[in-house]
Structures are given as C-alpha cells and as structure tokens.
Amino acid sequence: MAKADYIPALRFEFLTRFYDPLVRYSTREFAFKNALLKQANLNENLKILDLACGTGTLSITVKKKFPKIEITGYDVDDEILKIARRKARIAHAEIDFEQGFSDDLPFKNETFDRVFSTLFFHHLTLERKHRTLKEILRILKPHGEFHLADFALPRNKSQFVLSKWIRLIDGFETTHDNLRGRLLALMQENGFEKVERTGYFKTIIGTIRLFKALKK
Ligand SMILES: C[S@@+](CC[C@H](N)C(=O)[O-])C[C@H]1O[C@@H](n2cnc3c(N)ncnc32)[C@H](O)[C@@H]1O
C-alpha cells in the first residue's frame, strides 16, 4: 500500500513498534475498549470486523472471551499487521488478518454482524470518513451494529487543551471533524440509524468518546 495515502498508527512508521505501551497508558486503552465490547453484546455466533485493527489488541481480547467467534482484523499497514499476527500467535488466538484501505473493503455486502473501529477515524480525511462509513454500512448485515471509539469533542476546557496533542501527532486536517464533535452527524448522514453517544473517557491526550450505530 502506498505509504503516502495513509497515516500510520503513530504517524511515523519507525514509532510503530512503541505503539502498544504508549497507547495502553495514554488512552486508558483497556478501560475504553472493554466498555466498547460490553455495549456490543457479543456471543459466539457473531461474525466480526475490527476495522483498522492496528496491533490487534481488540481482536485478541474478543477472541479470548469468545473462542469460537469469527473475527477479521483489517488494516492498511503491513508493518503493524506483522505485530498483530505475532501477538495473536502468542495468545493462541485464531484471527484472520487482512490488508487494505477502509474505503475499499474486500468483503461482500452484508457479511458482518458487528464492526468495531477504535482510535481510527481521526486518521481519515473527511472524504475518506464518508467513504469508509458507506463501506461499513454496505458490509454490515441488516440489524448489524457499528461500535466506534475515537478522539472526539473535548469534554471540558482542560480536555480541549490536552486534545492539541492528538492534533499535533496526527495532523489538523484529519482530526478536525472528530474534535468538532461531528462523528455522530457523519454516521447519520451516511445512512446509519439510532446513532448514539454511549460514553466518554478523559485521557491525557483528549476525550475518547464511544458511539453505537445500527444498520436498518
Ligand atoms: C491509531 S491506530 C489504531 C489501531 C487500533 N484500532 C487500536 O485501537 O489500537 C490507527 C490505525 O489505522 C490504520 N489506518 C490508517 N489509515 C487507514 C486506512 N485508510 N485504511 C485502513 N487502515 C488505516 C493505521 O495503519 C493504524 O493501524
């Protein structure tokens, strides 16, 4: 994949190997990912996509809780997918990892019961956010659910100041709509139903908000 066309996990490829320890503490990773999984009411019979899975932490957590669940981790970056595959092997977690762009998914219509996306949308330009949301809707089954957690509207003034870190790291253009509080409206504009904010986590680099959205 052309590297110029996407922002790697920590913006610069050479930082990817430090992703897990940095994200664990700076984003309260386990707390917000477990909250997102809880709101998705998972069971063994579901087919799941972890979109822009990064190092695969969420996919592996799911697989440990539900060993028979069918889960695909998808990301554009082959370097981070190597880390994800290695972690999954060590955890004895059978996960199908695939590579590609989020706005051109290689899956048939109505394939998945749940799609998860964590710390990802702030990597996308507005145009790519729209295209990616359309793709998610296409590959979800009817009544399927989309669960998103990402940096979003800062909860208060100090969170607003701290969220400048995420602008600095991942760039003004892609973080702009997130931090203006536009994620919910974007999901509605692209055809999702019953879009709701389900929670928030204050972190040292800004507010992470959780959302749930349905396909009719
Ligand atoms: C900050 S990381 C989040 C990873 C993981 N979801 C997590 O919660 O730790 C963002 C990820 O998005 C991936 N990414 C960026 N642009 C992408 C695109 N257009 N399509 C698919 N993946 C993309 C990056 O490679 C990176 O792994």
Q: Is residue 4's pLDDT more than 90?
A: no
Instruction: Please check the confidence at residue 3 and state whether its pLDDT lies above 80.
Output: no
- CA-120 nearest atom, ligand 1: 10
Q: State whether the beta carbon of 37 lies less than 6 angstroms from ligand 1.
A: no
pLDDT computed for residue 35 by the predictor: 98
pLDDT score for 40: 98
Q: Quick one: pLDDT at residue 95?
A: 98
Residue 6 counted as domain residue: no
Local confidence band at 9 (pLDDT 50, 70, 90 cut-offs): confident
Higher pLDDT, 15 or 137: 137
Specify the number of domains making up the chain. Answer: 1
Residue 73 within any structural domain of the chain = yes
pLDDT tops 80 at residue 125:
yes
Reply yes or no on whether the pLDDT at 14 is more than 90: no
Whether pLDDT at 63 is above 90: yes
> For residues 79, 80, 82 and 88, what is the CA-based torsion angle, rounded to 10 degrees?
180
Contact 43, 66 (CB under 8 A): yes
Beta carbon of 9 within 6 Å of any ligand 1 atom: yes
C-alpha of 90 from chain center: 23
In a domain, 1, yes or no: no
Return the bridge partners of 208, or none: 151, 201
Is the residue at 104 inside a domain? yes
Answer for the pair 103, 126: CB distance below 8 angstroms, yes or no.
no
- Residue closest via CA to ligand 1's atom 27 equals 54
Kindly tell me if the per-residue pLDDT of 1 is higher than 70: no
For residues 129 and 121, give the distance between their C-alpha atoms in angstroms, rounded to a whole number.
Answer: 7
206 CB under 6 A from ligand 1? no
Mean pLDDT of the chain: 95
* 175 within ligand 1 shell (Cβ under 6 A): no
Q: Show the domain range for 174.
A: 14-214
Domain harbouring 45, CATH code: 3.40.50.150
